[in-house]
Amino acid sequence: MSQSQAHDDVHPPMAAVQDAVARALAEDLLPLGDLTASLVPIGVRARAAFVARQEGVLAGRLCAQEALRQVDPTIRAEWAFDDGQWFPAGATLAEVGGTLRSILTAERTALNLLGHLSGIATLTRRFADAVAPARVRDTRKTTPGLRALEKAAVRAGGGVNHRASLSDGILVKDNHLGGLSITVAVQRAAERWPGRVVEVECDTIEQVREALAAGAGMVLLDNMSPDEVAVAVQEVGGRILVEVSGGVTLDTAPLYAKTGADFVSVGAITHSAPVLDIGLDLEGP
Amino acid sequence: MSQSQAHDDVHPPMAAVQDAVARALAEDLLPLGDLTASLVPIGVRARAAFVARQEGVLAGRLCAQEALRQVDPTIRAEWAFDDGQWFPAGATLAEVGGTLRSILTAERTALNLLGHLSGIATLTRRFADAVAPARVRDTRKTTPGLRALEKAAVRAGGGVNHRASLSDGILVKDNHLGGLSITVAVQRAAERWPGRVVEVECDTIEQVREALAAGAGMVLLDNMSPDEVAVAVQEVGGRILVEVSGGVTLDTAPLYAKTGADFVSVGAITHSAPVLDIGLDLEGP
Amino acid sequence: MSQSQAHDDVHPPMAAVQDAVARALAEDLLPLGDLTASLVPIGVRARAAFVARQEGVLAGRLCAQEALRQVDPTIRAEWAFDDGQWFPAGATLAEVGGTLRSILTAERTALNLLGHLSGIATLTRRFADAVAPARVRDTRKTTPGLRALEKAAVRAGGGVNHRASLSDGILVKDNHLGGLSITVAVQRAAERWPGRVVEVECDTIEQVREALAAGAGMVLLDNMSPDEVAVAVQEVGGRILVEVSGGVTLDTAPLYAKTGADFVSVGAITHSAPVLDIGLDLEGP
Amino acid sequence: MSQSQAHDDVHPPMAAVQDAVARALAEDLLPLGDLTASLVPIGVRARAAFVARQEGVLAGRLCAQEALRQVDPTIRAEWAFDDGQWFPAGATLAEVGGTLRSILTAERTALNLLGHLSGIATLTRRFADAVAPARVRDTRKTTPGLRALEKAAVRAGGGVNHRASLSDGILVKDNHLGGLSITVAVQRAAERWPGRVVEVECDTIEQVREALAAGAGMVLLDNMSPDEVAVAVQEVGGRILVEVSGGVTLDTAPLYAKTGADFVSVGAITHSAPVLDIGLDLEGP
Amino acid sequence: MSQSQAHDDVHPPMAAVQDAVARALAEDLLPLGDLTASLVPIGVRARAAFVARQEGVLAGRLCAQEALRQVDPTIRAEWAFDDGQWFPAGATLAEVGGTLRSILTAERTALNLLGHLSGIATLTRRFADAVAPARVRDTRKTTPGLRALEKAAVRAGGGVNHRASLSDGILVKDNHLGGLSITVAVQRAAERWPGRVVEVECDTIEQVREALAAGAGMVLLDNMSPDEVAVAVQEVGGRILVEVSGGVTLDTAPLYAKTGADFVSVGAITHSAPVLDIGLDLEGP
Amino acid sequence: MSQSQAHDDVHPPMAAVQDAVARALAEDLLPLGDLTASLVPIGVRARAAFVARQEGVLAGRLCAQEALRQVDPTIRAEWAFDDGQWFPAGATLAEVGGTLRSILTAERTALNLLGHLSGIATLTRRFADAVAPARVRDTRKTTPGLRALEKAAVRAGGGVNHRASLSDGILVKDNHLGGLSITVAVQRAAERWPGRVVEVECDTIEQVREALAAGAGMVLLDNMSPDEVAVAVQEVGGRILVEVSGGVTLDTAPLYAKTGADFVSVGAITHSAPVLDIGLDLEGP
């Protein structure tokens, strides 16, 4: 896996971190608390480590840290890696110290977030490597309630964020064309929502031409073969950005990498990334 | 894929549905609304269909329905399948009618929930088939904030819910044994939290014996080979329930199915289920 | 009152504490703040004490502490007792120091929680003493919104928690039998919700026999006389747990204590416990 | 018990009702739903009744109705009594019809609210009768999170609401006098918070005189004997309102009733009212 | 005032409407409800009208309607105008019918939202007229908590929304240049957040040239005189969009209108718009 | 502008501050964070100042401080002024130090709150000066969601708070008289909500007499000329408080000041106060 450094902004806003952790802990601890941890004597202390069972790219450090803090502010953690960094299988990601009860109570919530988000970052990195020199972009196909965290994990993996919501970007898709033409859509968007790039999903080279003529700022070539993409890229001639989408896999990605497209957007990096296997190893008192 | 019917309670509580949908829509629509849909003339009406691109087991119908309703109470939907039912690739899951704007605005939120939860239900069903006559159980390795929905999707897939949280079940794991013995743990649990089954994670046959002697109600055989599990099952002799866990895959599942264990618990059904591909096809005005 | 020690887990999860206190303070302070305290000069400092006007068992220490903290993080409090401990009338429970304004503003919220929860712990302790060697269990007859705190207060009083919700325990009651038999209910529960004890409410010895035969894990003998309970206990013969319910009072509790039942569940400990009288005495500047 | 009619505003604001019910149902149903009700076949319908096991005064009708509605909007209920009305033991308060599952799921939440609030209304009514022609007032000694509902229950019982919070009324208590005199307090209150009645807690006749001279609008005679109260009432001579407080019980209330005081405030009506016993009787399909 | 029609999307997302109204009503009604309305007999019905005391542009219709609905779903309202429409002084905006109590309780919340948002729409319209053919844009200088509603009111007034938040648009301001140059900022933005227009605030013509050369998509000319703006517009030569900001008033706006700039952004339309005077007139029973 | 000192309670409850800031930051930062600040290198530090561009009265210091803290707890701020204090144009209100990124991210939210609330305090001060020796009171015409903050800003400006909500004060207005007479309203209020001042809006001297006779505690003279007010004040003769309302402006205020009325209430101080211009000046690293 490549070690290319992600840019600086690999962390989500803290408000999103705090909220997600609070909800996850409420799910796991209310109303009676941790029944099993209550069997452990109060005084017992422990040292433990978050250990990677697989290689990957870290994401979710702030979430895991916040889970520890919300369960017990006296837990201490030293992190050896930050979001966006690649680690080998077997790596110790963080050393943790505190009472055994508190560590056990926080364990699963911390790991669920760490594993889920690192899974996304790691799959993103694989796609980033596969589509280079094009870049991988995410989609709105995120887990409901976790978009801020998942979009940050994509950045940690070296991907680029597409629009964050229907409210912060314009993408005219085929289904919109049931109500208006590409030309009208682009013109109306420029008039009503100026200062925003208008992207148009195109299935054919004719649509690409119409989008270009209408003044679109980006085209999304959907479900085209690599050859068709190459033709479209040539048609666009560098005047606007070109994005490719539609079931691109790690196998087919390299074919699109050579087409000259700027971006390949992949829903799978957020909706189907398997968890990255990270565990908590108890090391002693 | 088997068509075995899930039991009646395949839906999550409506409060969980409403909350998850409201959060997802807020993520996607605030503060400006759907910029692109705003380009479509207000009056245009549409008929559309949720169509399965793959075969699978449905979960999340109430979520998708609620997403439509929260966006626009006048959207109508007719569902051809309910949660827990198997459908073939190409199946029309629901017919939808309303304004084009509203349908486009609700589309992604509805599909994200439907695809994510049906992905879980479908993977659960595959494991359920693979481990029969044992039964597949979920874990607490769920997506933060979505536990109620994902546990329901597991039931829709024919799986059985393990404890829902640290507060509603007792499972003594190896990490707890850093602070107390199996025997003490089981006795203390029976005293402090009577009326709850005490499950003990065991790595060895000796631990199984200790758990049995202490009065555990279930053992979780972790990371044992099928042969080791078979020995442990014989040791238990039907006196208590036996569960198997530890990286069981669809490939290795059949080996465990024959061991006589009652349950195989699989984290992957919630933490690594790929999305089930469901799309929205516009059918006309 | 007995001084028998409660077990370690007498405190509610901190998330429940913080939420309950925040709501109580919002009720009492928004939007204008404490009008009367605003009349007191800002600089005036005070020492004060939470003083018990009656003997009792403490519960709610974390709540009172959190109320002080949310009103003013600079208030200091030294606690002489912790939840679960018996104190005599006149005991000083805590010494408090800070500005007079802040102490007065926090006083009522702290006392409301302390008095309400200590009232529950104290009444629970009386029942615990009265039913020994059986043990007292709570019910779901708790104050809406305060279940986590009240269940912890029951533990502080030496009681045992029954299920925390409809979602975390199975109790087949007479009203359920309008839709299915005891036998079907127990079998279906074992199949759908394995790993959970199935408890069956029984009004007659015949029902006890049916529950036993069906494989119930516990019976709840409802509204039986002590003699009837004794007969049922003999019938059960120690195979499963036996609980008694139905208007048991401190007067009638000793009669049930001798029946051999394992538990006596009492709704009154949460729904009708009078407040324990605790006040705030100002001691000087 | 007297049948004197409460005034029109015996119901809490609907926002408070909806919020309290939503919290109570979340406590009771998340995340898995009602495990036991799930055993009942989906189609079974039932008729049931909320039946009073004791006489009393109703409060909480809107809460119970809202609990039914949130669980299942198709449940129908016909109420024979409204908040503020007295009913005899055995009275049917409401007839309910719907699916057996839904009724069982909503039962406890509805009853918890109905019983708690009717308990408050009923005890209030007893005090109202005992202190007449004086009137009974509540205090801020309410259950955290339920103040709006409990204050409405007091009105349903024929009581009068004191201030709802520290933010909406001024009451200078002995503890405030650690920082300023009665005279200064009253003057400052009149200047800073004009348009609000200033009430002063008095332990002695001298304090009553000081409060009167300072321009207080009401005095609260705390822990005075009936004779002392009578003297103070004469001193006040009808110029301002007189309230009595301090451990008044149903036994001692009549002694204060004859003193000429306008109000007797009783914390017990909210902090120590036992639940009113109301049950749900299943009547058939 | 011009009557130019606003475009279709003059309404905020319903989730924002419902949330703002619920908060406003909670502020105004909890915990005791409307004390004064409680004096009015329950049965009294009324007809009333929202009447404009000044001419203006409507915004907030959905908010006012939602306030009525949340207070009492049986209130009926007929609206004569919709958001974005100009109305003369004295116009009846809506006819309302329901119980007098409910109408009085909802009145102030409905009017506060209607007046505040219509005030914004109306001031926006005045600026829109004054800067034409340039267009008026809003800023992030909105009232905390009301951004979605206020941005919609700007659209209703014929204005254009600038970015909705720091998360959905890039604007390099002078203060950012304490940490990096315009050239670096624009290049880095294009790399990290592709698909978004990069706008650069410029105080000098040299900065405009640097922004153009770096590839900015828009320049914001801050605190320039109309003459300076005209020079900058010429420099830009239509290659990218030009926005003007910095204390533009209705008096100075026409001077900027003639400069050829595309947009004039005005913080005052959201942060200093006086309320539009709308009242509720009671018309009879 | 006068420098008369506001009284001690010029700050809102911290719970209201924290909530308003959290909502404002969520609006501005979710889900992707501050895109533009992300372009600034992480390590760059800065010193900056909140500087007043106009003279005025400060309000919102706690809000601005909390915005800095929620964005980054390591930002340090030294305040030279507190709420209620007058400052000249050009005054440095606070010195701020931290990372450039964090300061830029928090800037707008802090300024929006500071400018909005100081605008209210400043306009209130102008009215306070203009109506002296009468005093200025606010109304319920506040921005939805910000009432606690705005009422505190009024106090900071030297104004007096009217009732905070429909729940904490009684004001019989002309619209109520559609359902009952002044006499009945006052008597009923005294009976149902004793311990609260009853204020009656009067349009005529006859209504003033009726209110006085009925026992009102305050009259609100609405839309009367200064001469009419003077007559009414004489009629009242100091027996109860007199308030004046109805479109009083800074121009007409002095005319009312001489009438002998106790209060002049002005909706404009909350609903139409222009923002006070405060900016953030970067001072160096």
pLDDT one-digit tens code per residue, A5-44: 445 689 999 999 999 999 999 999 999 999 999 999 998 9
Average pLDDT over residues C160-189: 95
d(CA E234, CA B222): 74
Same domain for D267 and D218? yes
| pLDDT > 80? residue E119 | yes
Put simply, whether C41 touches D (Cβ < 8 Å) is: yes
Same domain for D163 and D118? no
Paired strand residues for F97: F47, F76
Q: What pLDDT, on a 0 to 100 scale, did the predictor assign at position D4?
A: 46
Same domain for F135 and F265? yes
- State the catalytic residue, choosing from D47, D108, D147, D209: D108
Paired strand residues for A99: A45
- Is position B201 annotated as part of the catalytic site? yes
Put simply, whether D73 touches B (Cβ < 8 Å) is: no
Same domain for F18 and F93? yes
A47 confidence band (pLDDT: 50, 70, 90): very high
Same domain for E135 and E161? yes
Buried b (16+ CB within 10 A) or exposed e, F27-58: bbbbbbbbbbbbbbeeeeebbbbbbbebebbb
Subunits adjacent to chain C (3 or more Cβ pairs under 8 Å)? A, B, D, F
Contact E275 F141 (CB under 8 A): yes
Q: Is residue E194 part of a domain?
A: yes
Q: Which of residues 89-128 of D touch B (CB under 8 A)?
A: none
Q: Is residue D247 part of a domain?
A: yes
- Is position F72 annotated as part of the catalytic site? no
Q: What pLDDT, on a 0 to 100 scale, did the predictor assign at position C1?
A: 52
Q: What pLDDT, on a 0 to 100 scale, did the predictor assign at position B266?
A: 98
Subunits adjacent to chain A (3 or more Cβ pairs under 8 Å)? B, C, E, F
Q: Which tokens in the block code for residue F14?
A: 């911290």
| pLDDT > 70? residue C141 | yes
- C-beta separation of D127 from D136 below 8 A: yes
CA atoms within 13 A on the CB side of D120: 35
Using the 8-state DSSP alphabet, how is residue F160 labeled? B
- In the three-class reduction of DSSP (H, G, I as helix; E, B as strand; rest coil), residue D45 is classed as strand
Q: Looking at per-residue confidence, does F35 or A284 come out higher? A: F35
* Interface confidence (ipTM) of the complex: 0.96
C105-C111-C112-C117 Cα dihedral, nearest 10 degrees: 150
Average pLDDT over residues D159-179: 94
Q: What pLDDT, on a 0 to 100 scale, did the predictor assign at position A4?
A: 46
Output the average pLDDT for chain D: 95
Put simply, whether F44 touches A (Cβ < 8 Å) is: no
Q: What pLDDT, on a 0 to 100 scale, did the predictor assign at position A2?
A: 54
Average pLDDT over residues F147-158: 98
Q: Is residue F8 part of a domain?
A: no
Put simply, whether C14 touches F (Cβ < 8 Å) is: no
Kind and range of the H or E run holding F116: helix F100-131
- In the three-class reduction of DSSP (H, G, I as helix; E, B as strand; rest coil), residue C39 is classed as helix
Put simply, whether D162 touches F (Cβ < 8 Å) is: yes
Same domain for E137 and E262? yes
Pairing of strands F92-99, C76-79: unpaired
In this structure, of A117-126, B144-153, D139-148, F7-16, the range with the lowest mean pLDDT score is F7-16
Contact D32 B8 (CB under 8 A): no
- State the catalytic residue, choosing from C45, C53, C76, C173: C173
Q: What pLDDT, on a 0 to 100 scale, did the predictor assign at position C179?
A: 78
Contact E164 A169 (CB under 8 A): no
Average pLDDT over residues C61-68: 98
- Closest-CA distance, F114 to chain E, in angstroms, reads 11
Same domain for A237 and A145? yes
Same domain for A258 and A139? yes
- State the catalytic residue, choosing from E23, E76, E173, E258: E173
Tell me how crowded residue D29 is: count the other CB atoms within 10 A of its CB.
25
- Closest-CA distance, D241 to chain F, in angstroms, reads 8
Put simply, whether C164 touches A (Cβ < 8 Å) is: yes
- In the three-class reduction of DSSP (H, G, I as helix; E, B as strand; rest coil), residue F177 is classed as helix
D285 closest CA partner among D109, D40, D105, D66: D40
Put simply, whether D13 touches E (Cβ < 8 Å) is: yes
CATH code of the domain in which A199 resides = 3.20.20.70
Q: Which of residues 223-282 of A touch C (CB under 8 A)?
A: none
Q: Is residue D9 part of a domain?
A: no
Pairing of strands B92-99, B45-52: antiparallel
Average pLDDT over residues C153-165: 98
Average pLDDT over residues A52-81: 98
CA atoms within 13 A on the CB side of B155: 26
- Closest-CA distance, E187 to chain B, in angstroms, reads 27
Contacts of E146 (CB under 8 A, 6+ apart): E20, E116, F143, F144, F145
Q: Is residue C4 part of a domain?
A: no
d(CA A199, CA C59): 61
d(CA B169, CA B219): 13
- Is position A192 annotated as part of the catalytic site? no
| pLDDT > 80? residue D38 | yes
Average pLDDT over residues E231-250: 96
- Residues from chain A that touch B27, judged by Cβ atoms under 8 A, are 144-145, 147-148, 165
- Is position F155 annotated as part of the catalytic site? no
d(CA E208, CA B50): 50
Average pLDDT over residues C21-34: 97
Average pLDDT over residues C107-127: 98
Residue of E nearest to A155 (CA): E192
Q: Is residue C214 part of a domain?
A: yes
State chain F's maximal CA–CA distance in angstroms. Answer: 73
Q: What pLDDT, on a 0 to 100 scale, did the predictor assign at position F4?
A: 45
E202 closest CA partner among E227, E182, E230: E182
Same domain for C164 and C251? yes
Of F38, F112, F267, the CB nearest to E142: F112
Q: Which tokens in the block code for residue C221?
A: 């003998």
C-alpha dist (Å) from residue D159 to D125, D126, D197, E37: 7, 10, 19, 19
- Is position C108 annotated as part of the catalytic site? yes
Put simply, whether C74 touches F (Cβ < 8 Å) is: no
Subunits adjacent to chain E (3 or more Cβ pairs under 8 Å)? A, B, D, F
Of B7, B164, B191, the CB nearest to C167: B164
- In the three-class reduction of DSSP (H, G, I as helix; E, B as strand; rest coil), residue F137 is classed as strand
d(CA F166, CA F151): 15
Contact D195 F241 (CB under 8 A): yes
Residue of C nearest to B195 (CA): C197
Q: How many distinct structural domains can be found in chain F?
A: 2
Same domain for E104 and E27? yes
- Residues from chain E that touch B41, judged by Cβ atoms under 8 A, are 8
Contact C9 A38 (CB under 8 A): yes
Q: What pLDDT, on a 0 to 100 scale, did the predictor assign at position B1?
A: 52
Residue of E nearest to D145 (CA): E31
d(CA C55, CA C33): 34
Q: Which tokens in the block code for residue C93?
A: 């429970």
- C-beta separation of B56 from B83 below 8 A: no
Could you report the per-residue pLDDT of F241-276, keeping only the tens digit for each? 999 999 899 999 999 999 999 999 999 999 999 999
Contact D13 E22 (CB under 8 A): no
Tell me how crowded residue B4 is: count the other CB atoms within 10 A of its CB.
12
Q: What pLDDT, on a 0 to 100 scale, did the predictor assign at position D47?
A: 97
Of B20, B44, B111, the CB nearest to A145: B20
Same domain for D92 and D159? no
d(CA A11, CA F31): 11
Q: Is residue A5 part of a domain?
A: no
d(CA D140, CA D165): 7
Q: What residue numbers bound the domain in which B211 lies?
A: 130-271
| pLDDT > 50? residue E4 | no
Of B195, B199, B241, the CB nearest to C241: B195
Could you report the per-residue pLDDT of C222-278, keeping only the tens digit for each? 999 999 999 999 999 999 999 999 989 999 999 999 999 999 999 999 999 999 999
Of A29, A41, A42, the CB nearest to C13: A29
Same domain for C123 and C244? no
- Residues from chain C that touch F13, judged by Cβ atoms under 8 A, are 29-33
CB pairs under 8 A between A and F: 33
Q: Is residue D123 part of a domain?
A: yes
Buried b (16+ CB within 10 A) or exposed e, D198-207: bbbbbbeeeb
- Residues from chain E that touch D146, judged by Cβ atoms under 8 A, are none
Put simply, whether E42 touches D (Cβ < 8 Å) is: yes
- Residues from chain D that touch F161, judged by Cβ atoms under 8 A, are 193
D5 confidence band (pLDDT: 50, 70, 90): very low
Average pLDDT over residues C210-219: 98
Could you report the per-residue pLDDT of A102-148, keeping only the tens digit for each? 999 999 999 999 999 999 999 999 999 999 999 999 999 999 999 99
Q: What pLDDT, on a 0 to 100 scale, did the predictor assign at position F178?
A: 81
Average pLDDT over residues D205-212: 98
CATH code of the domain in which D88 resides = 3.90.1170.20
E285 confidence band (pLDDT: 50, 70, 90): confident
